[in-house]
DNA sequence: TCTTCAGTTCGATTTTTTTCGAAGTTTGAT
DNA sequence: ATCAAACTTCGAAAAAAATCGAACTGAAGA
């Protein structure tokens, strides 16, 4: 089994979270998950990217503590860790949900 | 006179703000300003960096909308744009002020 | 005026990040 | 057992960001 690194709420750092969200691809994924609950890789509303690149971005989001996987068979469903984020960084999820003007 | 780009609250983007805060040097500067009001370059509690590098980081923070300068003689005093940030990204300033554990 | 101080800008180098294709892994179906 | 699907990992290449020193700028003081 894989060793999935997911920091506890108290171990997340604002710098790592910001670095994760500072890339436009990852911001799109995070916003997509904030709105839609749970999705697998093919459901992220990001333009064409190779699957290895997408996997790389997902890893950074996961290691920052923003998202968590639920592995079901061969599919990996990802979701935003809303409870942990609300506890550690109040307001962040709302920012992701806010309209981009 | 210089052409200082400072976006209005409505023109700030979360991606740019996160990209700015995703670098550890800039995060330190932002946290320093969040706690202490106004400071000039020599007051930022960041380790040794050349002044050109520091200037580069300040530019990114300014262009993202996080900080604003007040130029007085030959000194440039910077401050966090707390009101604009509270309006556009509620909770963000509190995150910067929170203890880093 | 000449010099210094506090920065910014420029140009180059180093480091990091993003990206890809190919190969590997795990699961489920045939 | 074999195969395909849905990923991840690896290694390399390209793109972007961080860093520095040198040169420049604008304000204040001698």
Q: B97 CB contacts (<8 Å, ≥6 apart)?
A: B31, B34, B35
Q: Which residues in chain A are contacts of B24 at CB distance < 8 A?
A: 15
Q: Choose which CATH entry (1.10.10.10, 1.25.40.10, 3.40.50.300, 3.40.50.1970) describes domain A12-88.
A: 1.10.10.10
User: pLDDT digit string (tens) for A10-63?
Assistant: 999 999 999 999 999 999 999 999 999 999 988 998 989 999 999 999 999 999
Q: Which nucleotides on chain D have any atom < 7 A from a protein Cβ?
A: 4-11, 17-23, 26-28
- Among residues of chain B, what percentage have pLDDT more than 90? 85
Q: Structural domain boundaries of chain B?
A: 13-88
Q: Is the pLDDT of residue A1 over 70?
A: no
Query: Which chain B residue is nearest to residue A96, measuring alpha carbons?
Result: B14
CA separation for the pair A33, A56 (Å, rounded): 17
For residue B9, the Cα-to-chain-centroid distance in whole angstroms is 14
pLDDT at position B2 is 57
> B14-21 and B51-64 are packed helices; what angle lies between their axes, rounded to 10 degrees?
160
Q: Is B89 in Cβ contact with A91 (below 8 Å)?
A: yes
Query: Which chain B residue is nearest to residue A15, measuring alpha carbons?
Result: B22
Residue to substitute from A8, A11, A15, interface B, most B β-carbons within 10 A? A15
CA separation for the pair A59, A20 (Å, rounded): 10
Topology (CATH level 3) of domain B13-88: Arc Repressor Mutant, subunit A (1.10.10)
């Amino acid at each position: 089994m894989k060793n999935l690194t997911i920091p506890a709420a108290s171990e997340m750092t604002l710098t790592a979270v910001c670095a994760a969200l500072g890339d436009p691809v990852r911001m799109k994924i995070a916003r997509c998950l904030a709105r839609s609950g749970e999705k697998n890789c093919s459901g992220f509303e990001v333009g064409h990217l190779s699957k290895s690149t997408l996997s790389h971005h997902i890893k950074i989001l996961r290691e920052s503590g923003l998202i968590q996987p639920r592995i079901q068979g061969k599919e990996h469903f990802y979701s935003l860790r809303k409870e942990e984020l609300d506890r550690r960084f109040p307001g962040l999820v709302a920012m992701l949900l806010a309209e981009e003007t």
